[in-house]
């Protein structure tokens, strides 16, 4: 998503971390309201996402050494294995 200069200035003023805005764009559904699309990170959504992220972090640590082998185009995984 492109960020206008105005939005960038407001994010800085309101201490909204760009990484969080990027995360919201990818993982929080947008809704249409008040004449625009909106992505809202409310308490309930934030709690659910934080729980999923903690589980994902645990799984990442459990899968250190995993290697995915892709075809030459990089679009299809051919195989996967773990190097211990």
Average model confidence (pLDDT) across the chain:
94
Query: Cα(42)–Cα(31) distance, rounded to whole angstroms?
Result: 13
Conformation bin of residue 81: beta by default, left when phi > 0, alpha when psi is -120 to 50: beta
Domain ranges, residue 71 = 5-82
- The four Cα atoms 46, 51, 56, 61 give a dihedral, to 10 degrees, of 120
**How confident is the model over 64-76, as pLDDT tens digits?**
999 999 999 999 9
Strand-pair partners of 26: none
Percent residues over pLDDT 90 in the chain: 93
The number of domains in the chain is: 1
Q: What are phi and psi of 76, to 5 degrees?
A: -125, 130
Per-residue pLDDT tens digits for 26-47: 999 999 988 999 999 999 999 9
């Amino acid at each position: 998503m492109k960020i206008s200069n105005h939005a960038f200035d407001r994010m800085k003023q309101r201490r909204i971390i760009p990484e969080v805005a990027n995360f919201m764009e990818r993982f929080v559904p947008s809704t249409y309201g008040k004449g625009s699309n909106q992505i809202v990170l409310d308490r309930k959504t934030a709690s659910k996402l934080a729980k999923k992220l903690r589980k994902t972090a645990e799984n990442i640590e459990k899968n250190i050494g995993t290697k995915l082998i892709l075809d030459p185009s990089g679009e299809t995984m051919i195989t996967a294995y773990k190097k211990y």
